[in-house]
Structure 1
Amino acid sequence: MKKIFFVSILMVSGFINAQNFQGMAVYESKTSTSDMTSNFRGNREITPEMQKQIEERMKAMFEKTFVLTFDKNASTYVEEEKIEAAGQQGGFRMMSSMMGGGGTHYKNVKEKIFSVDKEFAGKEFLVQDSLPKLDWKLSGETKQIGNYMCFKATAVRPVSQSDFRNFRRKKEDEKKEEVKQEETKTEEKKQDRNTNFMDQWEVPKEIVVTAWYTPDIPINQGPENYWGLPGLILEVSDGKTVILCSKIVINPKEKKEIKAPKKGKLVTQSEYDKIVAEKMEEWREMGRQGGGNFRMGR
Structure 2
Amino acid sequence: MTEAALVQPRNRAILLMITAILCFTLMDASAKALSLRIGIVPTVWARYTGQMLLVLVLVAPRLRTVVHTRHPWLQFLRSVLLMSATALFFTGISLIPLTDAAALMAVNPVLITLGAALFLGESLGPRRIAGIAFALIGAMIIIRPGSDVFSIAALLPLGAAACYSAYSLLTRRLGPKEDVWTSLFYTGLVGTVLLTLAVPAFWRMPDAAGWGLIGLITLFGTFGQLALIRAFSLGEASMLAPYSYTGLVFAAAWGALFFAELPDFWTICGALVIAGAGLYVWHRETYRR
Normalised by the length of structure 1, the TM-score is 0.22
User: Which has more radius of gyration?
Assistant: 1
Greater strand proportion: 1
Bigger relative CO (Cα 8 Å, ≥ 6 apart): 2
Normalised by the length of structure 2, the TM-score is 0.23
